[in-house]
Amino acid sequence: MKNFKIFLMVIALAATVATNYGCGDDEDVTTCSDGIQNGDETGVDCGGSSCAACPTCSDGVQNGDETGVDCGGSCTACPTCDDGIQNGDEEGVDCGGTNCPVCLVGLQGTKWQSSGDNVATLLAGPPFNVDSIYVEFEELTYHVEQFSGGVKIDLDGSYSQTESGTGNIWDITLMQSSPSALTAVGIYEISADGNILTYEVVQTEPDIGATPPTATDGFGSTNGGALSDWNVQTYEKVE
């Protein structure tokens, strides 16, 4: 009987040991998806020896809470085409590059009008008798409304322009398509404040025997200067 009691006590102790071992607290397990920064992570579920590297604002990929590559969210704001500064791959303020509209230069995207004493003497007198001119330059094309005695003539065509390398003077070539086909060549300059356009061109095709002005010789150099400033047109900018 005594041996039986001892046997029961041994069984009870073994059960107690087994119970205590089986019910012990589980060890904390760190994972890369538990939503907290733990283990040797350097951020929430990132960094350290086991998890992927944490997103940064200079890793060249869009990750984390970024709204673009290395910008937006916790990083600096992403460049836009209307933030008023030249950033991203823009070639100018809010223009050029991959996403923004092309940058306009020279006469592109401008409107001008000339009237009264601003009309070139050659145009104001016979046979043209021009009293006012309105001109709009798009990116590659132009439209002119020329008035003489209240009668309007529309002139349309395309143009090319290049910086001459002489001061702020540009070279310009106009290819008129309507109402008749002709080519005119000359120079222009926009004032520093952007409000005044000085403009001098002459027809070269069909040939009328005129020699275009040059940036080197300056305004008034049509026909080698023979016309003085009679062919120089002044325009005021229209907003």
pLDDT in tens, the chain (239 residues): 555 444 444 444 444 444 444 444 555 567 899 999 999 998 899 999 989 889 999 999 999 899 889 999 999 899 999 999 999 899 999 999 999 999 999 999 999 999 999 999 999 999 999 999 999 999 999 999 999 998 999 999 999 999 999 999 999 999 999 999 999 999 999 999 999 999 999 999 999 999 999 999 999 999 999 999 999 999 999 98
Residue 53 forms part of a structural domain: no
E-state strands within the chain: 110-115, 132-137, 141-148, 151-163, 169-178, 182-190, 196-205, 233-237
Residue 183 forms part of a structural domain: yes
What torsion do the CA atoms of 67, 70, 73, 74 make, to the nearest 10 degrees?
A: 170
Q: How far apart are CA 223 and CA 230, in angstroms?
A: 11
Q: How many CB atoms lie within 10 A of CB 55?
A: 19
Residue 132 is encoded by which pair of tokens? 């006012």
Q: Are residues 90 and 166 in the same domain?
A: no
The pLDDT, as a whole number, for residue 10 is 42
Residue 155 forms part of a structural domain: yes
Tell me if 236 sits within 8 A of 127, measured CB to CB.
no
Residue 10 forms part of a structural domain: no
What is the residue range of 169's domain? 110-237
Q: How far apart are CA 186 and CA 173, in angstroms?
A: 7
Q: Which of 82, 102, 122 is the last residue of a domain?
A: 102
Element holding 200 (H helix, E strand): strand 196-205
Q: How far apart are CA 49 and CA 47, in angstroms?
A: 7
Tell me if 235 sits within 8 A of 118, measured CB to CB.
yes
Q: Specify the pTM.
A: 0.69
Say which residues have a Cβ less than 8 Å from residue 28's Cβ, sequence separation at least 6: 38
Q: Are residues 91 and 131 in the same domain?
A: no
Give residue 227's region: left, alpha or beta (phi > 0; psi -120 to 50): alpha
Q: Are residues 90 and 127 in the same domain?
A: no
Residue 134 β-bridge partners: 113, 145
Q: How far apart are CA 76 and CA 93, in angstroms?
A: 18
Q: Are residues 76 and 153 in the same domain?
A: no
Q: Are residues 207 and 160 in the same domain?
A: yes
Q: Are residues 95 and 139 in the same domain?
A: no
Residue 15 forms part of a structural domain: no
Tell me if 199 sits within 8 A of 188, measured CB to CB.
yes
Tell me if 103 sits within 8 A of 85, measured CB to CB.
no
Closest CA to 156 of 135, 186, 177, 128: 177
The pLDDT, as a whole number, for residue 30 is 74
| Number of domains present in the structure of the chain | 2
Tell me the torsion sign for CA atoms 88, 92, 96, 97. negative
Three-state secondary structure call for residue 208: coil
Residue 235 is encoded by which pair of tokens? 């325009």
Three-state secondary structure call for residue 4: helix
Q: Are residues 98 and 195 in the same domain?
A: no
The pLDDT, as a whole number, for residue 19 is 47
Q: How far apart are CA 171 and CA 161, in angstroms?
A: 6
